[in-house]
Structure 1
Amino acid sequence: MKILTDKTPKVDVHAILTADEIAGINEYIHHYPQARAAVLDALKLVQKRNGWVDDAQVSAIACMLGIPVADVEGVATFFNRIYRQKVGRHVILICDSIACYLNGYEALADSFKRELGIEFGQTTADGRFTLLPICCLGNCDKGASVLIDEDTYGPVTPHEVPELLEQYA
């Protein structure tokens, strides 16, 4: 067990995380020379359950790793694929890099907003979709590109949006 410092939260990890999450985080801890190196892996593991990571889970991860909550929060807010608030069942990321911008990003984004009836940063009323911009998907040769959950699409035109959304009904 880790030695707790004054900045390390003292929380009941078992009341916050599942047994599988605790076991998984412990495995990650043993893969690295320092436990703090397991922060991103722990966040991704915990996010799998509900699609996002709440404050209590951040504190529990910090407790398990023996580091300050601020350190876990810093990693969680740095990586744009770790969600700190509730998101829809499907997260749609529209690439707004220069390559995608020049290949129709604005029209594509407008089409998604119109079809879903939401703006960036919002979730549909039925909880099905959350729409977010992302600075790059690494799919520059196929812009304008979209990532839905773990599926990358590109190039995508505004006319293809309804059919694309239907795949996630």
Structure 2
Amino acid sequence: MKVRAPGMFVEQLRRKAESAGGKLIDLHTWSLKMSQYDHTTEVCTKKPLSQRWHVLGDGSGVVQRDVYSAFLARCVMSNTHHPSHIETMWAAQKPVLLQTGWLRSEPAKIEPSGKITVATPLEQVVCDRGFAIGHGLDAVAATREPGDPGGFALRTPCL
């Protein structure tokens, strides 16, 4: 704790936000349960950390869990979820998420047991020197990799 100084980081972040004309809002993440909440059904469902894609309760698609949690955090008002506000914000963000690939509109299958299943995309790091959505040439990395057979490098490193 003393090496990382989380309190100092939060205080610096608060000062920088205020100097830029904004403000830092503290969220009670334990009660909000953003990685478990589904705005379409207004229900929290516990999931294992290995489940990286959130299946929307109405079966309209799947969304990447961390991106969806960040979206829900952006929509919090008075430290609670407001479904009507979230739905308004979702209508504006849905096309953007679909275009970037963070939301897939693949239909979910509801099994007789009531379990919802969907073919979620594999989580892979782009290692074949092809372009990923939103990635472009990195001139600095390209000059540092003279032996690159493709002649270019991606900004996201292969892990």
Q: Output the TM-score relative to the length of structure 2.
A: 0.27
Q: Which has the higher helix share?
A: 1
- Structure number with greater CO (CA < 8 Å, separation at least 6) is 1
Q: TM-score, normalised by structure 1?
A: 0.26
